[in-house]
Structure 1
Amino acid sequence: MHIDHSHEGPAAVSADATRPDGRRRALRVGLGGPVGSGKTATVAALCRALRTELSIAVVTNDIYTREDAEFLLRNAVLPPERIQAVETGACPHTAIRDDISANLEAVEDLEEAVGPLDLILVESGGDNLTATFSKGLVDAQIFVIDVAGGDDIPRKGGPGVTTADLLVINKTDLAPYVGSDLDRMARDAAAQRGELPVVFTSLKGEDGVGPVVDWLREQLAGWVA
């Protein structure tokens, strides 16, 4: 099953949204983006915002460490048994797009161990603008960039920017300090993405992850309809 990529409404569900035991499986959402864009902080904020209403688990990807998983554990965003780390040992996009076996095993192990789950977030290791997730791994993907990386990133495009189900432009609070033009970024993102949604976030602000939470709730509503 995959979310309906016509983007004309909430996620649509097909027959293989169920597990072998007949239960509905979790919605799987991937988060990708360049190093330092705020992927792990976004995952942490999403867990804090949704953990009282949803059953959530997280899979993180790093090349040679468990750094992102350990960040989530230190910040106690979820119980330890709900966080799995994958050490890819290679370019991060390999484990989320080409050979997804380690991530898929981690996702399925989490559903077995702590399920039933409503949502599994799969965070990619830091990669470039070409990083995308296999549709065999996730049902929808979020791509995170940040204003400190330069306000020309949306114009540069790349599959992550142009095709992700949601583009997140993060760290808007830094725009005045790095000379990034948020209006320009919005225009360039719209030109690259057409009708695909774009949201701006600042995780330092109150409810800074709110736009992403709203989008996720919409996807989940379609998933369980």
Structure 2
Amino acid sequence: MHLDHGVTYPQRHTHSAEPVRADGSRRALRIGLGGPVGSGKTATVAALCRALRAELSMAVVTNDIYTREDAEFLLREAVLPPERISAVETGACPHTAIRDDISANLEAVEELEETVGPLDLILVESGGDNLTATFSRGLVDAQIFVIDVAGGDDIPRKGGPGVTTADLLVVNKTDLAPYVGSDLDRMARDAAAQRGELPVAFQSLRGEQGVAPVAAWVRERIAAWAAR
């Protein structure tokens, strides 16, 4: 069986709504964060909130299958006021609520905009899923996909729509690379081969830079959104 052929992933989303509503008001930019279990999505969300909350009006929607654990973590860390954090219990595989039936997440997003808005940014965190997890463009305007070096340095090479098509790929926990035998240079080469010109950020939340490269990318998206 020959596997050295290109793979085209089907589009499973509709186009996002316009940034300006019919009444002239501007809705928030919506950024989704997906990735495998344990890759560091919630920690990245928390770090982004700390980095951006002084300059942006923001809120978060978390997705878990049967719990509110990710939301409760953010609440314990006090990264945002409680009324700016909403939890969705998907009751099924996480990708269903971010790609197939997005109604629960859309309701949470719209309720946040109504109750604590106007907002500049809403982060929608998926529950942990596999490399095929993607967000509907009817739900978010851009997607970050988070992987970590402890999962193996072959993850970028394996591809999948999360790795190859996300607007930003984050390779997390780079500080662990020497301890788990992951080659960061190899991961960078493989990610570039899979993603072309799409950006990749290498991140250690324990390092000096922390979430700064991802926060800078979010600021760029905010600026582009405001200019539309």
Residue identity in the other structure for 1:198: V
Residue in structure 1 matched with residue 226 of structure 2 by the alignment: 224
Helix, strand or coil at the partner of 2:60:
strand
Residue in structure 2 matched with residue 65 of structure 1 by the alignment: 67
Residue in structure 2 matched with residue 11 of structure 1 by the alignment: none
Task: Check if 1:84 corresponds to 2:89.
Answer: no
In the TM superposition, residue 207 of structure 1 has moved relative to its aligned partner by 3.1
**Structure 2 residue corresponding to 1:51, chosen from 46, 50, 53:** 53
Residue identity in the other structure for 2:124: V
**Structure 2 residue corresponding to 1:212, chosen from 198, 211, 214:** 214
Residue in structure 2 matched with residue 101 of structure 1 by the alignment: 103
Normalising to structure 2: TM-score of the pair? 0.91
Residue in structure 2 matched with residue 6 of structure 1 by the alignment: none
Residue in structure 1 matched with residue 163 of structure 2 by the alignment: 161
Q: How many residues align?
A: 212
Residue identity in the other structure for 1:205: G
Residue in structure 2 matched with residue 185 of structure 1 by the alignment: 187
CA deviation map 1:150-200 (0-9, x unaligned)? 000000000000000000000000000000000000000000000000010
Task: Check if 1:147 corresponds to 2:160.
Answer: no
In the TM superposition, residue 21 of structure 1 has moved relative to its aligned partner by 3.2
Residue in structure 1 matched with residue 6 of structure 2 by the alignment: none
Residue in structure 2 matched with residue 172 of structure 1 by the alignment: 174
Helix, strand or coil at the partner of 1:72:
helix
After superposing on structure 2, the runs of 4+ consecutive aligned residues of structure 1 that deviate more than 6 Å are none
- Separation (CA, whole Å) in 1 of partners of 2:115 and 2:40: 28
**Kindly tell me: are residues 178 and 67 of structure 1, through their superposed partners in 2, closer, same or farther at Cα, counting changes over 3 Å?**
same
In the TM superposition, residue 15 of structure 1 has moved relative to its aligned partner by 7.8
Helix, strand or coil at the partner of 1:185:
helix
Unaligned runs of 5+ in 1: 1-13
CA deviation map 1:105-139 (0-9, x unaligned)? 00000000000000000000000000000000000
In the TM superposition, residue 205 of structure 1 has moved relative to its aligned partner by 1.5
**Kindly tell me: are residues 99 and 199 of structure 1, through their superposed partners in 2, closer, same or farther at Cα, counting changes over 3 Å?**
same
In the TM superposition, residue 20 of structure 1 has moved relative to its aligned partner by 4.2
**Kindly tell me: are residues 122 and 15 of structure 1, through their superposed partners in 2, closer, same or farther at Cα, counting changes over 3 Å?**
closer
Helix, strand or coil at the partner of 1:154:
helix
**Kindly tell me: are residues 150 and 16 of structure 1, through their superposed partners in 2, closer, same or farther at Cα, counting changes over 3 Å?**
same
- Separation (CA, whole Å) in 1 of partners of 2:22 and 2:88: 24
In the TM superposition, residue 18 of structure 1 has moved relative to its aligned partner by 1.7
- Separation (CA, whole Å) in 2 of partners of 1:187 and 1:96: 29
In the TM superposition, residue 22 of structure 1 has moved relative to its aligned partner by 1.8
Among the aligned pairs, what percent are the same residue?
Answer: 88
